[in-house]
Chains A and B, each alone.
Chain A
Amino acid sequence: MPSIYKLVFAGPVGSGKTTAIQTLSDIEVVRTEANASDEVQRLKKTTTVAMDYGLMKLASGDQVRLYGTPGQKRFDFMWDILTENALGLVLMLKASAPDPLADLNGYVTEFREFIDKTALVVGITHTEGGGWRVRQEVSRELVRMGLPPCAIEADARNRTHMGLLVRALIYGIDPFNGTGEA
């Protein structure tokens, strides 16, 4: 019988969560955006209010629901509910943000219990002009926090990139999946 699974995308405003879900989804993404509040409207005119929702339909009949968490802290009440029973977390970080490491720390702290029980992969976006430095710093920080250093540069518009991120996440959840058939 087909099953339904969840993947959660988190990250600060403008990191590419909505685009990432759109890139992977087989349906038009349900976007719950509204005018941004004062603190973020200089970055973005709209922001996700409750969630983004996308869906991947698999040949097996199973479905993967893709949820994007709100980018603004004031909507963080949604985080608990979206992560419940989810397979893992894709954290999108914007390399050109003022302090990507602070963003990483903030989200890892908020989601730590969930991450420890599932898996985390970090997609570093907006990498033009030195994203590799951020990737290296993020990897070091993940190791420092006792987490697997799964950080990859990614263009949220690129399906191959997003596919690789999800693949890395899946292997973080079930490391030896498919070894029998490999």
Chain B
Amino acid sequence: MTGGSWLCLLAPLGGTILITLLGTRIPRVAAGWIATTSVFVAFGGAIWACLGVHSRPSPPPPGFEPFGFHPMPRGEITTAWTWLQSGNFHAGLQLLVDPLSTVMMLIVSGVGGLIVLYSIGYMDGDDEERRYFAYISFFVFSMLLLVEGGNLLLLLVGWGLVGLSSYLLIGFWHERPSAVQAAKKAFVMNAVGDATMALAFFILIAHTHSLSFGSAFSVHLSSTAVNLVALGLLGGAVAKSAQIPLQTWLPDAMEGPTPVSALIHAATMVTAGVYLIARTHPIFEQARTIELIAAGTGALTLLVAGLIALVQVDIKRVIAYSTMSQIGYMFLGAGVGAYANGMFHLLTHAFFKALLFMAAGLAIHALAGEQDIRNMRGLGRLMPFTKWCFLAGALALVGIPPFSGFFSKDSIVASTINIGWYGWIFWACGIAGAFLTGLYTFRLWFLVFPGEPSPFVREHHHRHGRLEGSLTMLVPVGILAVLTTIGGWLQWSPRWHPFTDWLEPAARTLPAAVPTNTQEYYTSAATVLAGLAGIAIAWAIYSERTIKIPAAPFWRRTLECKFYVDELYDAVFYRPGAAIANGLRREFEEPVVLQAGPDLGETTLEAGGFVRRIQTGLLRTYVLFLAAGAAGVVLAFLIAK
């Protein structure tokens, strides 16, 4: 099973190196196939590792260990070599295979493989396909390092590397200034999170002298220290997962190619925050306040993102805001202690969000790059396959049974009930979020797919061959559509819960976050009804046009400006910084630093002009000085005597 984890990690890295070294000696399509193969080999490794974990004996019963957490039940750490050593601190190049990491490995390499395959068709004809495929397999490697890393240091390395590959891929079309800006923004926002995480790790090292999962978690820290560590980790998670208040980079990241949005900014990287909370849950459980702040952040984000998604007109941005909203649900689940439910939503979200992005990619591809949904009416008539796949994804997103979102989202909302009085606030947020999800998702659907094709669509739509896209694009979309439909049947919390059982040894759900079956049923009914109500209103507004959109210009503008968060950050961070820099340039650099050079030269010249008068050129002057000097020395000796 450890062999599987190493294979899983190193195959995409091998793909990257191969594509980079072969360069232009291979045809462009070959680069795509190398990347795809390497990621699918990684998927094979992940299955191998997963079967290995499965064959391990079951974990001891709950309450068996003193801290309620056993370092690695049913898991194993393999160490290649000691990577860093400093005093009594050392960190190995080690991988962790346990139920949690194998789930993530399967998601990253499985969904990742499908998306890389899709990229072959989507990126066909781009000038720099090889670079794209090198980057994307590097991303898969980084993400696998993040989820497989056997200690917090390697996790941080993976964390930084996914940030880097995200930056490279958002800015892939580097001739577009907006893409470059978006890439920089994503990188800076993520760097904030990386920094808080690094600070948390410093505190951990100072107190426990270790960053390994087992020993760092089993030591009891003082409550201040553990709160600070949890807060630092939460900062990293919030930045990577685009939650409030570090959410502004994700919509802009849609400047990257659509498969990148599907892979990095929907299915894998942005959900890393949820993985981080589940992985470090022993720390969060000691800092329960911080954990609840995580849940509150999730609840707030899912509402805010849902509201903003209502007014966006770019098809990818709508889906991006829905991603933020869904990750809000995952944070809510992980924050209240229902780690398995959060992870299950991560899994189903990876299916249906990748599907939505890739279906949207098919539409964008067919319309020669158009992304404005106001121009897309009636596309379904021309692209029936895309239409049905998108519908499956949309229903899963809203959480309509039997699609996968129903099974994962409802159990998250239900798990908030029992945690205390604030649980009801979270619960209400979850239900309201479901309503908003129905509304914005089906606004998108009714604007784009049904009805007669608009003139714009008729004019710009063009088929690539007989089908709606190349086979490499259609096959992954079809597979994901099937997974989106049936993937949720894996677990229905009130009845059967193999996924929760599987994760039990790695991240046991807190008792307070386990609802009764009745609560689950009522919650499911409420979320589904809220979702259906959202769909019905979207239908009435955007399809039948029986309800007018309320004209509330203030609110509309606020939402269109995304609650002015960008402007706020601009005013709070950028402008003062720029003002100080400009002021220093005007007041210090230009008058002082830049003037120092010429001043120094002139002073030296003046001094030289003064001193050179001593050099008369007359021998007798020199002799006189010499004699006077000698006489002076003699006199000095005489006086001293």
Q: Do A and B bind each other?
A: no
Interface of A toward B, CB cutoff 8 Å? none
